[in-house]
Amino acid sequence: MTVNARGPWLVARALLPLMKAGGGGRIVNLASDAALYGSPRLAHYIASKGAVISLTRAMARETGDLGITVNAVAPGLTEGESSVDIPAERHELYRLNRAISRPQQPADLVGLIAFLVGDESGYITGQTFAVNGGFTMH
């Protein structure tokens, strides 16, 4: 909870005065599709990432009229340093249940995040975007 939930809140709290003074801005929080799927044996992690989703919604309501949008990205199991110690059966669960079966790469997140921090997304706020090759669909 300290890193996953409190961390984004502290960063936003520190930056909001600067964003307000500058006439607006964009906040993109990092959640996880585990909070959308309800992965077993990960209640502590799911609770912290679920808190990020709720924080995103609350912050969006608080900052919308200030020209500040707040959204969350919820990646799936992404290949890289952080996924090396994840059990093989979890990798297999994703592989078998994604609509796009190839492994997710960090680059798969770049386009959405670039959009969310750009001017074109100025009327999108309070949303959580799952980027997981169709592992969760809502």
94 noted as active-site residue? no
In this structure, whether the domain defined by 2-131 belongs to CATH 3.40.50.720 is answered with: yes
| pLDDT tens sequence for the chain (138 residues) | 889 999 999 999 999 999 999 999 999 999 999 999 988 888 999 999 999 999 999 999 999 999 999 999 999 999 988 888 888 888 898 999 999 999 999 999 999 999 999 999 999 999 999 999 999 998
Q: What is the pTM of this model?
A: 0.94
Residues in the chain: 138
Cβ within 8 Å of residue 49, ≥6 positions away: 4, 31, 32, 34, 35, 74
* Predicted local confidence at residue 84, as pLDDT: 86
